[in-house]
Amino acid sequence: MNITAKQGKVWLITGASKGMGLNLTKLLLSYGHRVVATSRNAASIEEEVTEAKENLYAVALDITSDEEVRLAIDKAIAHFGQLDVVVNNAGYSLVGSMEEMTDAEFRSTLDVNLFGTVNIIRHVLPHLRQQGSGHIINISSNAGYIGFANASSYNAAKFAMIGLTEALAQEVNRFGIKTTLVAPGQFRTDFMNSIQYVKHRIAAYGVDEAEKTWSAASGTQPGDPDKLVSILLKISEMEEPPLHLLLGPDTYDLVLQKRKEEAAEFEQWRALTLSTNFD
């Protein structure tokens, strides 16, 4: 066990080699926290982090492998002796219509964005439950509340993340484990540069144009990633953190507008909705 750092909490962060995960890793280390930072490329994390490296444990991990996740969690516990905050951040977006997506492309999106998170949660829960504390932070998106054309697989994963988190919160609250679903909007990370696009394209769906649009938008997002990760640190210190947390004016406006439209649609069809019981 690493006994050089006795202050702060122990965090586990997936997708920590770049973007929000890397920003969060650096922020936490600057505050004296210990970080288990995972990525398929652990060497990249070691290269990017230059300070407080004694409090960093970089782990090469494919979160879609249940066995790799189990071993990584065991190693993290052995290294730091505990886990306090788990941030399920790893993910990517696949752009393309449902007609264009292959079965493998669709399933791969869910494997990383959803089932990887499930693997992490499954293997950290025994430790958090035994110690009677912990905080699981799942990163969704405004795409978890709103369906977007040419993003069906990503929508499916991020919508599922919301339902998963709500159910998880009810299961683990009794054990002193806190749960938060974070839905960011557009933040100026390299997320857009990691967007993948369907290989087999049908011109009618306009994926070529979508790729040009998203590529051009990279680096112009309005959200400040440093503010985002500071908020994640802030909610980890709360006695009663939010279950749902929208981040970014874009997400706030989009989700509230969607809720208004849903309420209007539900009311429009209210008579049919209430007509189903036995007379």
Catalytic residues: 140, 154, 158
Q: Name the residue among 96, 116, 121, 119 with its Cα closest to residue 106.
A: 96
- Determine the residue type at 58: A
Query: What's the rounded Cα separation, in Å, for the pair 133 and 65?
Result: 26
Task: List phi, psi (to 5°) of 30.
Answer: -65, -20
Task: Give Cα 139 to chain centroid, integer Å.
Answer: 2
Separation CA 90–CA 56 (nearest Å): 18
Angle value at C-alpha 87, between 83 and 91, nearest 5 degrees: 140
- Rg of the chain over all Cα atoms, to the nearest angstrom: 20
Within 10 A of 155 (CB to CB), how many other CB atoms are there?
A: 20
Question: In angstroms, rounded to a whole number, what is the distance separating the alpha carbons of residues 218 and 210?
Answer: 13
How many angstroms separate the CA atoms of 92 and 111, rounded? 11
Per the CB < 8 A criterion, the answer to whether 72 and 51 are in contact is no
Q: Does residue 76 contact residue 87 with C-beta atoms inside 8 Å?
A: no
